[in-house]
Amino acid sequence: MHQFPLYSIGHFINEPDNRTEFEITLFEHMEEPAVDDPHKHTFYEIIWIDSGRSRQAIDYVEYELTPGSLFFISPGQLHFFEDWEPLTGGSLLFTEDFFLLNYQNKDTLFELSFLDNFYANPLLKPDSGNFADIRHTIELLRREHQRTDRSVTIAQSLLHMLLAQIQRCIDSQEGKELSKKYVILYKNLKHLLDQHFAENWPVSAYADKLHITQHHLNLVCKQVTGKTAGEIIRARSILEAKRLLTFSDLTITEVATQLNFLDSSYFARVFKSEMGVSPVAFKQAMADKYRVS
């Protein structure tokens, strides 16, 4: 099975041995990073666009970034630079440890609905007023990071402020503020899914692990994503199938076996109902586009 390169922040500033946990770079000052596509990150990245356009893909979904937009990439997602016109804007990179510095409670990171999601739209287009406020905070962060006497405490506080501003934009665009409790439960489900998707557990098994009823888990998933728990579990399995079909030499039967489907014909039916094409047609379509030499 193909293993995707997993990059730290150091790789993106062309200093692979640099263990930095926070960086902020402007596209116009940035050297092209020596990273392969597709790849995964060990860190969070927020891209903002002031001018120009860029196309990016996360887990096979393509997005067009335009001026005034923000784009979020989380650890473990499969990221691919599709296209890259002359851009102004930049990229903010931070690790979970940097965000949680001096915080014991990891839930503070989990409460942000736009990070760590494989279902949510990673592209945000705030209105011009909100984008200007967000840009102002980014600029404060950038200036702080450039100081010789820079303070991690100030940078972390500004990062928290920036992420809260982004979350507020998302809540206002969706017309509701999600219950933090629900977002945390959903992300705990996602964490379990990342560990156990290949075991093809039923909804009841995930509910038991989270110490809640199946009904409550469904309610949480519907509130956070608009989808049922069963749909979320199936989508994670299909995402892995897409990765295996694209980047490994496994046959359709071997992919079905690896993901614990009853048999390859059942897997093919589930895949086609989810994707609209058969696994064979999907594998063919992706071969030219994403094949890693």
- Residue 292's pLDDT is 47
- In the CATH hierarchy, which top-level class contains the domain 180-290? mainly alpha
Average pLDDT, the chain: 87
* pLDDT, position 92: 95
Write out the residue limits of the CATH 1.10.10.60 domain(s) in the chain: 180-290
Say what percent of the chain tops pLDDT 70.
90
Residue with the bigger pLDDT between 35 and 200: it is: 200
6-174 belongs to which homologous superfamily?
Regulatory protein AraC (2.60.120.280)
Tens digit of each residue's pLDDT (9 = 90 or more) over 167-205: 889 888 776 667 888 888 988 998 899 889 888 899 999
Condensed to tens digits (0 to 9), the pLDDT of residues 219-264 reads 999 988 888 999 999 988 998 898 888 878 899 999 999 999 988 9
β-bridge mates for residue 23, sequence order: 93
Q: What is the pLDDT of residue 145?
A: 95
pLDDT digits (tens, 9 = 90+) for 127-169: 999 999 999 999 999 999 999 999 999 999 999 999 999 988 9
- pTM for the full predicted model: 0.80
End-to-end, the C-alpha distance of the chain in Å comes to 13
Give start-end residues of each CATH 2.60.120.280 domain in the chain. 6-174
Q: What is the pLDDT of residue 290?
A: 61
DSSP H helices in the chain: 9-12, 96-100, 107-110, 128-146, 152-174, 180-196, 203-209, 214-225, 229-247, 252-258, 264-275, 279-290
User: Given a cut of 80, is residue 270 above it in pLDDT?
Assistant: yes
Helix (H) or strand (E) run with residue 22 in it: strand 22-26
| Integer angstrom CA distances of residue 174 from 8, 57, 124, 177 | 32, 23, 11, 8
Measure Cα distances from 206 to 61, 195, 231 in Å: 27, 11, 13
Selection from 151, 153, 159, 21 nearest residue 96 by Cα: 21
pLDDT computed for residue 35 by the predictor: 76
- Decide if pLDDT at 30 tops 80: no
Q: Are 193 and 206 in contact (CB under 8 A)?
A: yes
pLDDT at residue 293 greater than cutoff 60: no
Greater confidence (34 vs 132) lies with 132
Q: Where are the alpha helices (DSSP H) in 197-278?
A: 203-209, 214-225, 229-247, 252-258, 264-275
Residue 109: pLDDT band (50, 70, 90) is low
pLDDT tens digits, 73-108 = 988 888 887 766 678 999 999 998 888 876 666 667
Whole-angstrom CA distances from 81 to 40, 156, 190 are 12, 28, 25
Rg (CA), the chain: 20
What pLDDT is recorded for position 191?
Answer: 86
Spatial contact of 197 and 232, defined as CB atoms under 8 Å apart: no
Query: Shortest CA distance to 68 belongs to which of 48, 93, 47, 85?
Result: 48
